[in-house]
Amino acid sequence: MTSEHAEDHPHAAHVDRHVRAYITVFVVLMVLTLVTVWVSTLRLGLRLAVTAALGIATVKASLVAGVFMHLSTEKKLIVLGLALTLFFFLFCLLMPGVSDMLNNRL
């Protein structure tokens, strides 16, 4: 196996650029973690608290997936596979709420 066959293997020059992004994302994630804790002390209503906490968590998760897991530069096949998974994941998450709503109407 020679390196010229490794078509999807990154080169050192690209990695140098990535490393700067890793450090930036690391600092942002640390700050957002502290912001999450601070927001939880504000005694917001439940709806607002859930929106804020999950909103910040989603931003943090997107940074981890996009930068650390290289999803932002990943091949379409992987992204499509994950989009399909995400659809079923959201279906799982929303099912309890939708079932509650339907029960209340009946």
Partner 1 sequence: MSAATLIPYTVEARPDTGLNNVKIGIWLFLASEVMLFGGLFAAYILLRNGAAQWPLGASILSVPMAAANTLVLISSSVTMVMSWASLVRKDFGKFRLFMGLTVVLGLVFMVIKSTEYRAKFHHELFPRTNTFLAIYFTLTGLHALHVLGGMVVNAYLWGPGSAMWKSEPLRFTNRVEAAGLFWHFVDLVWIFLFPILYLL
6-35 residues near partner 1, rule: CB under 8 A: 6-12, 15-16, 18-19, 22-23, 26, 29-30, 33-34
Minimal distance, residue 61 CB to partner 1, in Å = 5
Total residues contacting partner 1 by CB under 8 A comes to: 53
Farthest-apart Cα atoms in the chain, separation: 65
Question: Exactly one of 97, 102, 104, 105 binds partner 1 (CB under 8 A); which one?
Answer: 97
Question: What letter represents residue 10's amino acid?
Answer: P
| C-alpha distance from residue 60 to each of 14, 36, 63, 81 (Å) | 23, 10, 5, 21
| Terminal alpha carbon distance of the chain | 64
Q: C-alpha angle with apex 83: 76 to 16, nearest 5 degrees?
A: 50
Q: Residue numbers of the site for partner 1 (CB under 8 A)? A: 1, 3, 5-12, 15-16, 18-19, 22-23, 26, 29-30, 33-34, 36-37, 40, 46, 49-50, 53-54, 56-57, 60-61, 64-65, 68-69, 75, 77-78, 81-82, 84-86, 88-89, 92-93, 95-97, 100
